[in-house]
Amino acid sequence: MTACGCHPTYGAHLRAKNFHIGYCQSAKNFDKTRANRIEHELSEYANARAQGIQPSGTSLKQTRFALDASDRLGVAFNADQVL
């Protein structure tokens, strides 16, 4: 028995608690914070595309520029048509 006395092995105890190790790539600069930032940027990009706006890229800066330009111009911004 483990120290808690509820499971025969420590591994069984962790499985019962649904314990997971995540982001093993943190040594390569990939962690939960970076994943959340990327997810947020892609969500903003998807929202812009749903409105018919075509940003020049998926970064938050590019997406916000396209959203602001659309508001100023009164039409959906399309980076492919910018001279």
Containing structural domain, residue 73: 23-81
What total number of domains does the chain contain? 1
Q: Is residue 12 part of a domain?
A: no
Query: Per-residue pLDDT tens for 16-44?
Result: 887 666 666 666 666 777 888 899 999 99
Q: What is the pLDDT of residue 83?
A: 56
- Residue 71 tokens, joined: 């508001």
Is 34 inside any structural domain? yes
Pick from 66, 71, 30: which is nearest to 45 by CA? 66
> pTM for this one?
0.64
Position 70 in a domain: yes
The CA distances from residue 71 to 34, 45, 53, 80, in Å, are 29, 16, 11, 18
> For residue 21, what pLDDT is reported?
66
Strand partners, 78: 54
pLDDT reported for residue 1? 47
Instruction: List, for residues 45-83, the tens digit of each pLDDT value.
Output: 999 999 999 999 999 999 999 999 999 999 999 999 875
Residue with tokens 């396209």: 66
The encoded tokens of residue 8 equal: 């025969």
17 contacts 36 by C-beta, under 8 angstroms: no
